[in-house]
Amino acid sequence: MPRIMKIANLLKIILAAFLYYTGISQLILSILVRIKPTHLILMYHRINSDNNGIFEGVNIAIFKEQIKLLKKYFMMTTLSEFIYSNVNSRNSYAIITFDDGYKDVYSRVFPVLKEHSVPATVFLATGAVDNNDVIWTDKLNLIKSIDESMRINIKNRLKRLTNTAKDKELVSLLLKYKVDLSSIPESEKMLSWEEVLSMAGEGIDFGAHTVNHSILSKVNKEEARKEIVDSKRRIEFIIDRPIATFCYPNGQPEDFDESTKQILKQSGFKCAVTAIEGKVKKGDDYFSLRRISLANRPPSLVVLKLIKEMLKDA
C-alpha cells in the first residue's frame, strides 16, 4: 500500500474514533434511523477467532460489537420476514445474512445471536452440507504453492465451466499440487443437518445457495434450474417448512441474469440477494437485492459506514 494511502487510512481511523467516542457520529446515526428510514442487508461468510481458516473471516470479538451496535439502532429481522412484512416499514431495519453455511455459524455465530436475541438468515450450499465437505472455491484455497494472482485466474476460469468440467479440472489441480482433502479439520467444513435443525427453531432462517455453489449465468439453463430447485427442495425436506430466499453464488452482476431470476420466481422464491454493495431502496428488484459488508471494522468505523450508506441518494 502506498505511503499516502496508509496515512489517509490512519487519519480516517483517528477521525472515526474521535467522532465515535465524543458521541457525535452515534448521535448522527440515531437521528438518521428516525428521519431517514433505511433497510440494510448485512453480508457475512465466516466468523473466526484466529483467521487461520481456509476462508478468512470476521474476528469473533469484532462481530459481537457489530451485533450490539446494529441492534442498538436498527430493528432486526430475518430476510423472509422482512420481504413478507417489513419492506415498506417506516422503521430502519438491519438483516444479518451468512453465505455458504460454514460450521462456525453454529459454533460461534449462533451463541452470539441467541445472547442478543438477534435473528439471521443463513444461505446453504446443500451439496457440501450433504457430503460433510467444503465448497469448491475453498478447495482452491488449500493449494498453498501458488500465489494469489494465479489462484484468482484459476478461480475465474473454473467459474465459466459446467459443473462436470469444473469438478474434473479441480480434481486434476488438487492431484497436481498434492492437496489432501482428508486433512481438512471438521471446524473448516459446512454445517451438519443436525446443526441446521437445532438453529431452525431458534430464530435462524434458511435460504438456498445452490447445490454446488455454481455460477448460475455460466451454466446452461437446465443445470441452473437443477441447482436452484434441488437446493430448495433439500432444505425444505430437512427443516419441514417452505423457504423463500435465495443467494447468488459470487453475487456479482455477471453471475446471474434475467433467465436466472425467472427460474427463481417459477420455483417459489420471493427474493434473492447479491454481493453488490448498497442498501435496499424503494422500488428495488426483489431478485437483485444489494447488501453491505462490515468486514472487520470496529464500532467507530461501522457507524461511519452506516451513515455513509444511509446518506447515499439522499
Does the pLDDT value for residue 124 go beyond 90? yes
Q: Report pLDDT for 50.
A: 64
Q: Give the bridge partners for 40, in sequence order.
A: 94
Architecture of domain 3-138+185-311: Alpha-Beta Barrel (3.20)
pLDDT for 42-59, tens place per residue?
Answer: 999 999 876 555 677 999
Q: Report pLDDT for 8.
A: 85
Global pTM?
0.94
Does the pLDDT value for residue 314 go beyond 70? no
Beta-carbon neighbour count of residue 4 at 10 Å?
8
pLDDT for 146-203, tens place per residue?
Answer: 888 999 899 989 988 888 899 999 999 999 999 988 888 898 899 999 999 999 989 9
Average pLDDT over residues 251-269: 97
Q: Give the bridge partners for 120, in sequence order.
A: 204
Q: Report pLDDT for 6.
A: 85
Domain boundaries, the chain: 3-138+185-311
Average pLDDT over residues 122-147: 93
Q: Report pLDDT for 129.
A: 97
Q: Report pLDDT for 52.
A: 57
pLDDT level of residue 5 (50, 70, 90 thresholds): confident
SS3 state at 245: strand
Sign of CA dihedral 41, 45, 51, 56: negative
The mean of the pLDDT values for the chain is 93
What is the distance between the terminal CA atoms of the chain, rounded to a whole angstrom?
32
Least confident stretch, 143-157, 253-267, 272-286: 143-157
Which of 204, 245, 244 has its CA nearest to residue 77? 204
Least confident stretch, 88-92, 222-226, 249-253: 88-92
pLDDT for 199-222, tens place per residue?
Answer: 998 999 999 999 999 999 999 999
Cell numbers placing 67: 451485533
Contact 292, 284 (CB under 8 A): no
Q: Report pLDDT for 177.
A: 92
Contact 213, 249 (CB under 8 A): yes
Cell numbers placing 305: 459506514
